Amino acid sequence: MTPREHALRLDAQDPLAGFREHFLLPEGVIYLDGNSLGALPRATPQRLRQVIAQEWGQDLIRSWNTHHWIDLSTRVGDKIAQLIGAQAGEVLVADSTSVNLFKLLAGALTLRPERRVILSEAGNFPTDLYIAQGLIELLGGRHELRTVTPEDLPTALNEDTAVLLLTQVNYKTGYLHDMAALTAQAHAQGALVLWDLAHSAGALPVDLGGCQVDLAVGCGYKYLNGGPGAPAFLFVAKELQEAFQSPLSGWLGHAQPFAFDPDYRPAPGMVRHQCGTPPVLSLAALECGVDLMLAADLKAIRQKSMALGDFFIALIEDLGLGFALASPRAATQRGSQVSFRHAQGYPITQALIQRGVIGDFRAPDILRFGFCPLYVSFRDVWEAVAVLHAVMKTTAWDRPELKLRGTVT
């Protein structure tokens, strides 16, 4: 059987194949960047037209009550909770991932006032590290951000660790941390854990409850398909919620915002983490993406995502094109992406994009390909590798215009 026939056979047996038609993707594009910006669900434009024309246009401010805009952040949060092993009332949609990191890190430090260290890994996504650095400066420099390699995390945890801050799936390599083990190790030292689920929510089953995670944040515009700049989410375990303070004590996080009390009193539960007025249009779009995820079986998503990645790696390595695998070879240790290193990674990525194969590049030399199992087929993977093969054989990447870098890579 040729690799192409193998791909077609795998597609024919794919239990998720029917989800492809629930997305609007352009003809002639193989989209391998859903880990950066998820595709557009077919239901979203229609829903947004309705919210804009009817709820905003006709019903105006009454819609906060009549169309339940005021409950959107908790309603969509409760739906996301089902995707990440959390309970209803543990997840709120609000702000961006970066802002939510700030809120939860600040709250975590106040719960461990005698401890000084935020522990993370050096390869964490920059915003996670930047937010920790900025917070430490704001708090007068009494704390320290300590970053180590993933292997050194268990020994770096000690009685001075206030919070372990990790992204479950590394954005560059796709390396998947053992959430249960690291959370248990942090707890054994009395530290709190804050997991960033940017590359795991919607990509694989996550069990915050089963792992006894304290705090988490995640992204709305990646695997949840919420649209560009979609609001993010945050999770605080039930047991911590009463004691947990948000540093951004805005009016919509007040126990009674419409009492217009001059003194702040936090709302019970997660609502206190809603600083200001929620972005209703973006939340409506995010809900469409989350509803689609809820209709799919996360175990099937994980199975297919691992198989897509394995197939991609095998095809590329068979061609012997000089790409070095930068992701774990074992699918169980990878998220839903595969990365390769190549010194000409940037122009090669541009040449692929020019030919309709959209992945992305992460400096200095990483070509990153995301496999969203709801809309990527095995045939897509085969075709993407065929295009890559042609680009390498003809050195089509070696053109000056493909080496000019845009602001966003």
Q: Does 388 bind ligand PLP (CB under 6 A)?
A: no
Q: Does 78 bind ligand PLP (CB under 6 A)?
A: no
The set of residues, in sequence order, having a beta carbon less than 8 Å from that of 409 and lying 6+ positions away, is: 346, 360, 361, 362, 363
**Distance of closest approach, residue 98 Cβ to ligand PLP, in angstroms:** 3
Side chain identity, residue 197: L
Considering 221, 233, 312, 371, which one is annotated as catalytic?
A: 221
Question: Is 369 labeled as catalytic in the residue annotation?
Answer: no
Map residue 120 onto helix, strand or coil.
Answer: strand
Q: Which is nearer to ligand PLP, 122 or 314 (CB)?
A: 122
Choose one: 196-204, 284-292, 313-321, 372-380; the region binding ligand PLP (CB under 6 A). 196-204
Task: Encode burial over 57-89: b for 16+ CB neighbours within 10 A, e otherwise.
Answer: eeeeeebbeebebbebbbebbbbbbebbbbeeb
Tell me whether residue 263 is exposed, middle or buried, using C-beta atoms within 10 angstroms of its C-beta: 0 to 12, 13 to 18, 19 or more: exposed
Q: Which is nearer to ligand PLP, 99 or 352 (CB)?
A: 99
Q: Does 125 bind ligand PLP (CB under 6 A)?
A: yes
Q: Does 219 bind ligand PLP (CB under 6 A)?
A: yes
Per CB under 6 A, the list member of 63, 73, 167, 336 interacting with ligand PLP is 167
Closest CA to 234 of 380, 89, 51: 89
Considering 31, 125, 346, 378, which one is annotated as catalytic?
A: 125
Question: Is 196 labeled as catalytic in the residue annotation?
Answer: yes
The label of the residue with tokens 């949840």 reads 224
Q: Which is nearer to ligand PLP, 200 or 377 (CB)?
A: 200
Per CB under 6 A, the list member of 103, 115, 199, 362 interacting with ligand PLP is 199
DSSP state letter for 176:
B
Choose one: 21-29, 121-129, 185-193, 308-316; the region binding ligand PLP (CB under 6 A). 121-129
Q: Does 145 bind ligand PLP (CB under 6 A)?
A: no
Per CB under 6 A, the list member of 96, 147, 333, 354 interacting with ligand PLP is 96
**Distance of closest approach, residue 198 Cβ to ligand PLP, in angstroms:** 3
Per CB under 6 A, the list member of 121, 128, 360, 380 interacting with ligand PLP is 128
Whether 357 contacts 368, CB under 8 Å = no
Question: Is 103 labeled as catalytic in the residue annotation?
Answer: no
Per CB under 6 A, the list member of 82, 127, 147, 303 interacting with ligand PLP is 127
Q: Is the peptide bond before 364 cis (omega within 30 degrees of 0)?
A: yes
Map residue 41 onto helix, strand or coil.
Answer: strand
Angle at 42 between CA 80 and CA 350, to 5 degrees: 90
Question: Is 125 labeled as catalytic in the residue annotation?
Answer: yes
Identify residues 228-247 at the interface with ligand PLP (CB under 6 A). Answer: 232
Tell me whether residue 27 is exposed, middle or buried, using C-beta atoms within 10 angstroms of its C-beta: 0 to 12, 13 to 18, 19 or more: exposed
Q: Does 175 bind ligand PLP (CB under 6 A)?
A: no
**Distance of closest approach, residue 31 Cβ to ligand PLP, in angstroms:** 17
Q: Does 23 bind ligand PLP (CB under 6 A)?
A: no
Question: Is 258 labeled as catalytic in the residue annotation?
Answer: no
Q: Does 223 bind ligand PLP (CB under 6 A)?
A: no
Q: Which is nearer to ligand PLP, 234 or 391 (CB)?
A: 234
Q: Does 87 bind ligand PLP (CB under 6 A)?
A: no
Considering 368, 371, 375, 380, which one is annotated as catalytic?
A: 368
Whether 232 contacts 100, CB under 8 Å = yes
Choose one: 4-12, 80-88, 96-104, 138-146; the region binding ligand PLP (CB under 6 A). 96-104
Q: Which is nearer to ligand PLP, 14 or 33 (CB)?
A: 33
**Distance of closest approach, residue 189 Cβ to ligand PLP, in angstroms:** 23
Per CB under 6 A, the list member of 44, 63, 97, 282 interacting with ligand PLP is 97
Which residues are paired to 215 by β-bridges? 194, 236
Strands 324-325 vs 337-341: parallel, antiparallel or unpaired: antiparallel
Show the tokens assigned to 125: 């996504």
Considering 78, 95, 128, 196, which one is annotated as catalytic?
A: 196
User: From CA 93, how far away is CA 217, in angstroms rounded?
Assistant: 10
User: From CA 216, how far away is CA 128, in angstroms rounded?
Assistant: 12
- Pinpoint the alpha helices (H) of 112-214: 126-138, 153-156, 179-188
User: From CA 132, how far away is CA 98, in angstroms rounded?
Assistant: 10
- Residues in contact with ligand PLP by CB under 6 A are 96-98, 125, 127-128, 167, 171, 196, 198-199, 219, 232
Query: Catalytic residue positions?
Result: 125, 196, 221-222, 368
